[in-house]
Amino acid sequence: MKKKALLLFSGGQDSTTCLFWAINKYGKENVSTVGFLYGQKHSLEIEVAKNICKDLQIEHEIIDLSVISTLSKNALTDHEMKIEMKNGLPTTFVPGRNLMFLSFAAAIAYQKEITDIIIGVSQADFSGYPDCREDFILSMEKTLRYAMEFDFNIITPLMGLDKKQGWQLSDELGAFELIKEKTLTCYNGIIGKGCGECPSCELRNKGLEQYIAKN
């Protein structure tokens, strides 16, 4: 019997690449997804994620973690805050976000007897978030195992890939056009190419240009 996997899914470039990776590895019938409402400005991502899962016939659950938006000031939940560097981190960093996301995902996975939890973080080409680094993921995996006495595996298909390599992987998985046109990565909530100005768009579009130039 094939193993099952639970994917943290936002409808962005990285998590959608991971979705196709998971379908390829586990089979569509063995993949389910979870998304989080955390007071994000670009809440359109909730609809984008739902639509992608509906089109692919993948189970998708949404958890309301709006309390996150009350815990700190950051540019993803505060409409007035500028996107800039502050104290060595971009203001788009949401303290505790991946910590909470993985904890809730693990609780869901535990109930479903799913050991494999997939998250689309990368430390090769990212915005400097400490909760996207491999040492955090390894620590979190161990913590969740201790907390629930369950053999969780936190799987990070993109951990060592930059954005150019991410685009290459999406192409190899047959998901290039869908990810290019229908995902939402932009901090300003614009689907596809995005605003072209925010840090997330700059990373995404630079990687795309590099991948296209290579081919």
Distance from C-alpha of 71 to C-alpha of 133, rounded to nearest angstrom: 22
Is-above-0.85 flag for pTM? Answer: yes
Distance from C-alpha of 157 to C-alpha of 143, rounded to nearest angstrom: 20
What's the pLDDT tens digit per position in 159-213?
999 999 999 999 999 999 999 999 999 999 999 999 999 999 999 999 999 999 9
> What is the pLDDT of the chain when averaged over all its residues?
95
Average pLDDT value for residue range 16-44: 96
Residues forming a β-bridge with 155: 118
Distance from C-alpha of 12 to C-alpha of 142, rounded to nearest angstrom: 27
The residue segments making up the domain with residue 37 are 5-214
Q: CATH code at 157?
A: 3.40.50.620
Distance from C-alpha of 169 to C-alpha of 186, rounded to nearest angstrom: 20
Position 126 pLDDT exceeds 90: no
What's the pLDDT tens digit per position in 54-92?
999 999 999 999 999 999 999 999 988 999 988 888 999
Q: Please give the tally of structural domains in the chain.
A: 1
